[in-house]
Structure 1
Amino acid sequence: MAINEEITLKKLEVFLSFMELNNLARVADALGQSTVSVHRALHSLEDGLRCPLFKREGRSLIPLHAAYTFAESARRALAECEEGVRKVREMSGINPVRLKIGSLYSLTLHCIPQLVIALKLRRPGLDIDLTLGSNRELLQSLAAGRLDTIIIGVQEAEHHAGLVSVPLFQDDVYLAAPLHSPYAGQTALDLQALRDEKFVTLNEGFVTSQSFSHAFELAGFVPDTAMRVGDIFSLINLVSGGIGYSLLPGRVRAFSSRIELIPLDARYGSHQQITLLMLSSRERDANLLALAAECRLYGKRGSFASN
């Protein structure tokens, strides 16, 4: 069935604004139009649909059930159109003014703020959205196009097909212990000495959970894991409270003065490579090129030393 020419995307935008604000004057202010133009758009949309959407009570418009039903489809139509515009602009090399970056919670103290500040100086008109999550969540969002790029930790032998990587720095993994533990002060801790201890760690999907499992595989035993949690801050608090030991990357040292990070014996060494990842199809995007350049500078400056 052909869509009536009175039904346009602009009118759908006006209609959805009215459904949210429920006031002609406020919609007019929000969209930069006159009240008369808003009213005319809603009326002509009804004409195009050949179906009433509102009932009139004095000067007020009251949405009918049909309006709420149509609003669901209108939202989907606008969202699909916006996504199509974004994709075709990317394919044409026209860069968006908003960059969606994903990263780990553990990088938010030094690494991410420094990169964002440097990127804003390089490209002042760029708006940045930051999403935090696990490796698994962020990789899925990157593949689905919900994120433009991600900065995560990867294991040394890990490879991601179809992605371009820009390494920033390598982070070693340590035993995380409460202050004044029996292992305090050691410079090369043998994990075998902790066979009878309890541990806490992150849920699967985080790179630090991978590092935890890898280190104990090297040690040849399965640790007694008392609890798994979904964020690094809760994990640090559990360690400091004496619930259990853990294995954490060096960058979390600045998050708490109530835990000690103790070096592991080289036999059980586990490392994370903090890396910028982007889709190969977008590696020429000017905004991503600018971020990649700042990531390389960050690595060369050794900014991670304070992490």
Structure 2
Amino acid sequence: MDLHHLRLLRELGDRGSLAAVARAMHITPSAVSQQLRSLQRSARVPLTERRGRRLVLTEAGRALAAAAIEVSTALDRAGRAVDAYLDNPAVPVTVAAFHSAGLTYFGPLLSRAGLPPLRCSDQDVPQAGFPALVADHDLVLAHRLAHSPPWPADRLTVVPLVHEPLYVAMPAGHRLTSKTSLTADDVAAEPWISVREGFPIEGVLTAIAAAAGRPLEIVHRVNEFTVVAAIVAAGGGLALLPGYTSRPDPGVALRPLADLPVGRRIDVLTRPENLHRVAVRTVLDALHEIAAEHRRPSRA
């Protein structure tokens, strides 16, 4: 049964005529009749009957009109409950992030005054796995290379957070530290530390190999950047490290690549309806503020 049709039935019982209902609802009497006939088709007994020139409710019609009041009241109560939920600044917000973003953002978020309760989760997934995380988390911090395919915006909302440069990391005493910037040819002959297949940043190494015209020697595959920095400092090879979300390591030097645009986008993914919640928008604003505070290279 359609709620609008139930309301028309109730109005007929209260107002006593099709013309009065039509005036109150700003529609024509024929439209009222047509919609009441649609309601009648869903009922097993007559809801209205003719008394002279007037159309009145039967006993069953009056019972259904009374039920319509209860339905309308319940829906109004439900709407108010939803509004209270959306406007409540203290409803917990769930935030997921890949490792280096969690390292950078979780601490400042949790120590920030005025935010709702947070439920944080680290998610080390391939680039293609981030959109699915919005089913279980209000906000998902995701990363992708600047020129990789965009997120599927038809089923989620994408809020850009920051474009982060990537630098070539090498041991502090490496011969290439004498240069202020590097080229693909400079680094292609070195052993490399890469992320696992399917994860962002791997594509940059592919681009370096293509620009240099030779394959790179991948000796280690590690996703966690703090571990990568420790391997680099120990002389285990070169790597790419992010400029804003990696921890400084005195044993590591960073240099930009001059002949390739090297960077990644950090975006916040969410279901569109989540942004109707005051608490979610408050956390999103805080993420933007924290991103602005960290928008400087760690060491380059």
TM-score scaled to structure 1, two decimals?
0.60
Asked if residue 250 in structure 1 is aligned to residue 240 in structure 2, the reply is: no
Deviation of residue 261 (structure 1)?
0.8
- The equivalent of 1:298 in structure 2 is 290
- The equivalent of 1:200 in structure 2 is 193
Asked if residue 264 in structure 1 is aligned to residue 238 in structure 2, the reply is: no
Asked if residue 104 in structure 1 is aligned to residue 95 in structure 2, the reply is: no
Distance in 2 separating the partners of 1:150 and 1:159: 15
Match of 2:214 among 206, 217, 221: 221
Distance in 2 separating the partners of 1:224 and 1:127: 42
SS for the counterpart of 2:201 is: helix
Match of 1:285 among 242, 262, 277: 277
- The equivalent of 2:120 in structure 1 is 129
Distance in 2 separating the partners of 1:226 and 1:239: 12
Deviation of residue 270 (structure 1)?
1.0
Distance in 2 separating the partners of 1:178 and 1:284: 48
Asked if residue 177 in structure 1 is aligned to residue 167 in structure 2, the reply is: no
Distance in 2 separating the partners of 1:243 and 1:287: 45
SS for the counterpart of 2:288 is: helix
Distance 1:168 1:215, change over 3 A: farther
Gap runs ≥5 in structure 1? 1-87
Deviation of residue 218 (structure 1)?
4.2
In terms of Rg, which structure is larger? 2
Deviation of residue 205 (structure 1)?
3.7
Distance 1:285 1:205, change over 3 A: farther
Q: Contact (CA 8 Å) 1:198, 1:223: kept in 2 or not?
A: yes
SS for the counterpart of 2:106 is: helix
Aligned 1:21-40 pairs, distance under 5 A? none
Deviation of residue 241 (structure 1)?
1.4
- The equivalent of 2:139 in structure 1 is 149
Q: Contact (CA 8 Å) 1:174, 1:263: kept in 2 or not?
A: yes
- The equivalent of 1:212 in structure 2 is 205
Distance in 1 separating the partners of 2:176 and 2:239: 13
Q: For the aligned residues, what is the CA RMSD?
A: 2.9
Aligned 1:40-55 pairs, distance under 5 A? none
- The equivalent of 1:191 in structure 2 is 184
- The equivalent of 1:234 in structure 2 is 227
Q: Contact (CA 8 Å) 2:145, 2:201: kept in 1 or not?
A: no
- Equivalenced residue count is 213
- The equivalent of 1:160 in structure 2 is 151
TM-score scaled to structure 2, two decimals?
0.61
- The equivalent of 1:274 in structure 2 is 266
Deviation of residue 274 (structure 1)?
1.9
Distance in 2 separating the partners of 1:105 and 1:116: 16
Q: Contact (CA 8 Å) 1:202, 1:232: kept in 2 or not?
A: no
Deviation of residue 109 (structure 1)?
4.1
Q: Percent identity?
A: 17
Deviation of residue 181 (structure 1)?
0.3
Distance 1:123 1:173, change over 3 A: closer
Deviation of residue 98 (structure 1)?
2.7
User: What residue identity is the alignment partner of 1:297?
Assistant: E
State the Cα deviation string for residues 129-170 of structure 1 (Å, max 9, x = none). Answer: 332423548615514x22221112222244112222222222
Distance in 1 separating the partners of 2:297 and 2:187: 29
Distance 1:156 1:122, change over 3 A: same
